């Protein structure tokens, strides 16, 4: 009911800290800003396993009538990060009750700012030592999914989520009266040609066998119906699963935009957001074992999903330790849980949360053993 936007998760972090301490778990707060790291030591030697949940909400007005509806105007947990926190706290409760049977140590990573993009929240936590002291051997992340049926775990080996690259294009023309376009360099007209031409990057310049998306999602220009403006601003995103394709795609977006603009006597400035998330890559051998473990959970089903063009900050944790990112479905028409993540009507089937907590606890327990992966 009290969702908080990226880098503003102050009360959420305090709640997490209190709950972890009540379970006898040591806590380090303000990690990378508002992040929280809990550490639970088992009674037997073994590996260090990290479990991650993101905490931030989205700038969306909630349009679902539930008992826990957001009390903050214009902010809601439209991507289910509140359920991620709940499931990881549930896993912490389970593991703390069975610490005498636990091998190694478990790190609980409560991360801010996954929705922010660019710098995000994983990198600041990593820079602040979240994956060290003790060094993490395996890392796992769970995300609720509005497109998979309730009680279904979905995952795959290798690349599972794309790298995002956000671009801004400024087309500079020469404004004037709408009745005399020949006396102007119309940036609105040039923008239309650029949007069309950029689709040629997808269909004619990048290998069709490479998963690749380019979308221009925003165009802003002008102030009145009879005034041709001086410039237009376009914003969009590129999604790729391969670093070479990523580099080529950015190069082509820039060159095509500038060439088309120049052909119509306009100038173009193309800028890409720095430090965007890398591709989320699941370790194959780890993921094979994860699937085996998930299939032991009664009343659930585990499936291999297709690559997803969305992006994930968890990718940075996977660059520091082998692990797996996986999904838990919450699509349930009988309960009115039919809208996708990021929708103002997103609603979670709460009955699945116990399976999420159990899955995280089982992964920590099994991968804590010294011979976890042969």
For the question of residue 276 being annotated catalytic, the response is no
Please, which residues have CB within 8 angstroms of residue 364's CB and are 6 or more apart in sequence?
49, 51, 91, 95, 102, 106, 140
Any idea which residue has 């990378």 for tokens? Answer: 32
Q: List phi, psi (to 5°) of 188.
A: -70, -45
What's CA 297's distance to the chain center, in Å? 26
Q: What gap in Å lies between CA 50 and CA 142, rounded to an integer?
A: 12
Strand ranges, E, within the chain: 26-31, 35-41, 44-54, 103-111, 138-149, 152-155, 158-161, 163-172, 176-177, 212-221, 227-228, 231-240, 267-272, 280-282, 301-304, 323-331
Annotated catalytic residue, options 138, 252, 277, 365: 277
For the question of residue 326 being annotated catalytic, the response is no
353 and 90 Cβ atoms separated by less than 8 Å: yes
Closest by CA to 89, choosing from 363, 323, 316, 353, is 353
Closest by CA to 29, choosing from 42, 45, 16, is 16
Burial 195-224 (b: 16+ CB within 10 A, else e): bebbeebbeebbeeeebbebebeebebbee
CA dihedral 10, 56, 125, 30 (to 10 degrees): 10
**Angle subtended at Cα 232 by Cα 115 and Cα 202, rounded to the nearest 5 degrees:** 65
Active site residues: 277, 350
């Amino acid at each position: 009911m009290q969702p908080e936007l990226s880098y503003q998760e102050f009360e959420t972090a305090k709640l997490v800290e209190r709950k972890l301490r009540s379970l006898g778990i040591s806590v380090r707060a303000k990690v990378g800003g508002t992040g929280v790291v809990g550490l639970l030591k088992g009674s037997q030697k073994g590996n260090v396993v990290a479990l991650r949940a993101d905490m931030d909400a989205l700038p969306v007005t909630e349009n679902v009538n539930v008992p826990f509806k957001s009390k903050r105007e214009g902010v809601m947990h439209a991507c289910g990060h509140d359920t991620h926190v709940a499931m990881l706290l549930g896993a912490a409760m389970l593991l703390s009750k069975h610490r005498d049977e636990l091998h190694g140590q478990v790190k609980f990573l409560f991360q801010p700012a996954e929705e922010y993009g660019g710098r995000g929240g994983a990198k600041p936590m990593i820079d602040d030592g979240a994956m060290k002291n003790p060094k993490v051997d395996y890392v796992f992340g769970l995300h609720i999914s509005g497109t998979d049926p309730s009680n279904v775990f979905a995952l795959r080996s290798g690349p599972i989520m794309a790298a995002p690259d956000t671009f801004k294009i400024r087309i500079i023309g020469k404004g004037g009266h709408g009745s005399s376009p020949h006396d102007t360099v119309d940036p609105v007209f040039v923008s239309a040609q650029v949007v069309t031409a950029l689709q040629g990057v997808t269909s004619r310049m990048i290998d069709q066998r490479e998963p690749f998306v380019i979308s221009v999602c925003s165009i802003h220009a002008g102030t009145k119906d009879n005034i041709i403006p001086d410039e237009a601003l376009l914003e969009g995103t590129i999604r790729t699963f391969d670093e070479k394709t990523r580099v080529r795609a950015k190069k082509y977006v820039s060159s095509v935009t500038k060439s088309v603009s120049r052909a119509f006597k306009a100038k173009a400035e193309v800028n890409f957001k720095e430090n965007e998330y890398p591709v989320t890559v699941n370790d194959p051998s780890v993921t094979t074992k994860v699937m085996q473990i998930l299939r032991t959970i009664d009343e659930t089903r585990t499936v291999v999903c297709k690559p997803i063009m969305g992006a994930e900050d968890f990718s940075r944790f996977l660059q520091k330790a082998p692990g797996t990112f996986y999904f838990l479905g919450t699509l349930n028409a009988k309960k009115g849980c039919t809208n996708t993540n990021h929708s103002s009507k997103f609603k979670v089937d709460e009955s699945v949360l116990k399976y999420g907590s159990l899955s995280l606890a089982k992964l920590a327990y099994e991968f804590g053993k010294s011979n976890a992966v042969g």
